[in-house]
Amino acid sequence: MADRRFLTIYWRDMLRYVRFRALLFSSLVQPALWLAFFGIAISSSFDALGAQLPVVPGIPRIGYLTYMCAGVIAMTTLFTSLFGGMSLLFDKNWGLLREVMAAPMSRSNIVLGIGLSGITKSCIQAGIILVFGLLLGVKFFAGYDPLHTIIAIVGILVFVSIFALGFVFLSAAIAITMESPEGMQGVMTLLTMPIFFASNALYPTQAFPPALQAVSVVNPLTHLVTGIRYFAIGPEFSAIGQTFSYSVADIAISFGVLCLFAALTFVLALYRVRNARVT
């Protein structure tokens, strides 16, 4: 069973994150630049196309930059959490993991500590992108009163946290079996492309082929983006010629899918860590 000693693992990983200044700077600035350059460039084209479409009465229309910002938050969370288990691989290669696993504590503390650090990093980056997006003109929380805005921000961070937890656990399960950072990066890159593009992060999934639509339904990233848009934009809106409507039941299902994914990956990561052989 885990106890408070997982906080030691968490604190150690966060210190390493802060002390690697170049990695910290790039991980915080890169998604903001991606939103600024790619988002502003492509949003002008989509907004010009959307302006020619009829307005649906009673449903607010949002610009593509607002629509895409939720996807950028999700994309950053995906990249951050998928590489969250890399610290286990570094410790393994440097001989430090042997000392950690020999410590008088349950190995579940290792998994939980890494997971908590992944949540912290993802929430920090999500908050930075959220603020930067608002400065760029993203219309999040439009018409919200202060209390509604706070609730919406908390809802976004809860979705981000559960999603990050699932992928950090998956990353840890993969990292503990790898032998080189290059191999780890190759696997992570292979995973990020289909997960990101087979989701609703950048475009609606209604036009996908049936097989790809089925993939997007079970894709955790789709459910994260759905949750972010529900809290940040509202339950009903139109963008790039499509009308989007989310009920409370839809959000509950998305949250349940993310929780199930996190639980399954935790079991997988714990199994891999407990059966790891480190020399």
Domain boundaries, the chain: 6-274
State the pLDDT at residue 111: 84
Give the tokens for residue 209: 């082929």
Kindly give the interhelix angle for 248-274 and 146-175, rounded to the nearest 10 degrees. Answer: 30
State the pLDDT at residue 2: 47
State the pLDDT at residue 33: 76
Number of residues that this document lists for the chain? 279
Residue 69 CA to residue 129 CA, distance in Å, equals: 8
- Burial (CB count within 10 angstroms: exposed 0-12, middle 13-18, buried 19+), residue 182: exposed
* pTM metric for this prediction: 0.89
Give the H or E element holding residue 238: strand 236-239
**Residue 224, SS3 per DSSP:** helix
Please give the radius of gyration of the chain, using alpha carbons only, rounded to the nearest integer: 20
Residue 274 CA to residue 268 CA, distance in Å, equals: 10
**Residue 158, SS3 per DSSP:** helix
Give the tokens for residue 163: 């999603």
State the pLDDT at residue 256: 97
In this prediction, the residues of the chain whose per-residue pLDDT falls under 70 are 1-3, 21-24, 26-28, 44-57, 91, 93-105, 276-279
Residue 62 CA to residue 60 CA, distance in Å, equals: 7
The number of C-alpha atoms within 13 Å of 168 and in the hemisphere containing its C-beta is: 27
User: Residues with Cβ < 8 Å from 122, sequence gap 6 or more?
Assistant: 76, 77, 80, 81, 160, 161, 163, 164
> What does 16-80 look like in DSSP terms, one character per residue?
HHHH-HHHHHHHHHHHHHHIIIIIHHHHHHHHHHHTTSPPPTTS-B--HHHHHHHHHHHHHHHHH
- Burial (CB count within 10 angstroms: exposed 0-12, middle 13-18, buried 19+), residue 34: middle
